[in-house]
């Protein structure tokens, strides 16, 4: 079975990973790590989210982070916006790419955003129109696509309908999130293929959490369906403050190791990513789930076996 020859990874650690930490990560260090990821070859980085600092204090410096990002033509900087105010802040901060996100499971939508899925979709439609009107490329992400309270309790027909609707609104891409980490390879193939059939040429992205240890197995299943864009996170950082037990995203360096072994090009130096992972672990004084960067740290050098 043929796999994509190249894959694009987006490191969401500076947003999805950092937001989960209680200890404030200084703006200087955030910019240092984002720069390190860019230097390692990450073509896209989710650098922050524009949310109220009362709810996510870690993101209170969103504008300062954006202001201090190094200018470069080989990296796309994106920010997460969950409502109109956040989108306007992202625009004012100078970001040309935003990631929008809505729930696909009604209970999750109520728990997370205090609105129904239909209400969230209506809000997202207005945000896409705003993005189009201001020259912003918008990725539309769907949460808990593979299950919220139990596997596959999110209706697939609803996911497909929503994906088709926003593809017709000409968003930059559609992202499917395994927010709870409930997905397994069979489910990945079934749901990915159903969405692919509905969105045509609109690029598809997978955002996978590794809660049950199947993150990289799910990457391989998605590759077999032709998916060539994935969200990852340095050191496997992340989680979801609104989902009990949700752990981090698939680790960037671990994913690159898998793709390198499959002969799939990413243009990413996994050793350089590993150094960035070690830096944030050292600062926070804790260990994250990713594996490859720990091998690097134990070796004390950039050994050929890493």
Q: How far apart are CA 214 and CA 40, in angstroms?
A: 25
Q: Does the annotation mark 10 as catalytic?
A: no
**Annotated catalytic residue: which of 10, 66, 225, 240?**
240
Reported residue count of the chain is: 306
**List of long-range contacts for 117-125, beta carbons under 8 Å, 24+ apart:** 117/158, 117/162, 121/162, 121/165, 123/83, 123/84, 124/100, 124/166, 125/169
Catalytic sites, residue numbers: 240
């Amino acid at each position: 079975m043929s796999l994509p020859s190249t894959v694009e990874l987006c490191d969401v650690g500076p947003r999805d990973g950092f937001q989960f930490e209680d200890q404030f990560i200084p703006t200087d260090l955030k910019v240092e790590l984002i720069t390190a990821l860019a230097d390692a070859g990450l073509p896209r980085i989710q650098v922050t989210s524009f949310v109220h600092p009362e709810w996510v204090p870690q993101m209170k410096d969103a504008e300062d982070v954006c202001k201090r990002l190094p200018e470069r033509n080989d990296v796309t900087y994106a920010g997460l916006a969950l409502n109109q105010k956040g989108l306007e802040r992202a625009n004012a901060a100078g970001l040309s790419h935003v990631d929008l996100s809505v729930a696909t499971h009604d209970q999750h939508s109520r728990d997370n955003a205090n609105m129904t899925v239909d209400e969230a979709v209506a809000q997202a439609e207005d945000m896409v129109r705003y993005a189009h009107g201001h020259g912003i490329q918008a990725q539309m992400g769907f949460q808990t696509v593979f299950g919220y309270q139990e596997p596959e309790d999110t209706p697939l027909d609803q996911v497909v309908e929503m994906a088709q609707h926003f593809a017709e609104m000409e968003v930059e891409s559609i992202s499917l999130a395994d927010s709870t980490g409930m997905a397994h390879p069979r489910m990945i193939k079934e749901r990915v293929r159903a969405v692919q059939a509905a969105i045509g040429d609109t690029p598809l992205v997978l955002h996978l959490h590794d809660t049950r240890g199947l993150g990289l197995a799910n990457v391989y299943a998605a590759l077999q369906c032709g998916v060539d864009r994935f969200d990852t996170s340095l050191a496997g950082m992340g989680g979801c403050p609104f989902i009990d037990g949700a752990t981090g995203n698939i680790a960037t360096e671990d994913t690159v190791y898998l793709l390198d072994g499959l002969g799939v090009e990413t243009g990413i130096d996994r050793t350089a990513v590993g150094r960035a992972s070690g830096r944030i672990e050292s600062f926070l004084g804790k260990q994250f789930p990713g594996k490859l960067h720990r091998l690097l740290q134990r070796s004390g050098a950039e050994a050929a076996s890493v």
